[in-house]
Amino acid sequence: MIYGEKFEEALMYAARLHRTQMRKGRNVPYVTHLLAVAAIVGENGGTEGEVIAALLHDAVEDQGGAATREEIRNRFGDAVATIVDGTSDTDVIPKPPWQERKRNYVAHVSSASRSVRLVSAADKLHNARSILRDLRAEGEVTWQRFSVGREDQLWYYRALVDAFRTAGGTDEIVDELEEVVEEIAETAA
């Protein structure tokens, strides 16, 4: 599959939206995460629309809420906007409490569309890989970057693995996600 002009537009749009954002606790431009998630989606059979949604998956949550959602819908269509919406755990500012958001998201993902699960699983896989890399390099200080600690993070990732497994359709990504989460548990123990 060859990506077209909409992909190029999404790439530039995502880079502009997240231009000043960095990864949590690191001096790494946030756009690297978006590119990694898009790559995972593309490498696992994602359509161009799914890859575009992967580039934009955090735009509503982190860069403007409902107004950004409508801009994505206008620029990239309903299908992409629906996937982006399905991968966002909130568009409310300030965000609701972490535990509430994550419980709701786990419940949502188990019945979400295949496209939403693909982008979500790719996002969670990249996040888990990043946590594992940071734990290996920096140790337990890694957990200080997050609003909740090790046990809550492990609960969330394990609950997501279970939800993705129940829903099906993203087996290779979920297999790797589960492996990485268990490595995190062993590294952090």
Instruction: Find the angle CA(171)-CA(152)-CA(65) to the nearest 5 degrees.
Output: 75
Among the listed residues 71, 78, 58, 44, the one whose alpha carbon sits nearest the alpha carbon of residue 15: 58
Which residue shows structure tokens 């990504």?
A: 173
Cis before 94 (ω within 30): yes
Whole-angstrom Cα distance, residue 23 to residue 31? 9
Output the pLDDT for position 25: 75
Residue numbers annotated as active site: 61-62
**How far, CA to CA in Å, does 68 sit from each of 37, 62, 115, 133, 156?**
19, 10, 20, 31, 27
Helix (H, G, I), strand (E, B) or coil at 96: coil
Output the pLDDT for position 21: 87
Mean pLDDT by 10 residues, the chain (189 residues): 95 96 86 98 98 96 89 98 93 86 95 97 98 94 93 98 92 97 88
Residue-range domains of the chain with CATH:
5-188 (1.10.3210.10)
Output the pLDDT for position 189: 61
**How far, CA to CA in Å, does 57 sit from each of 34, 76, 142, 162, 180?**
8, 13, 24, 21, 21
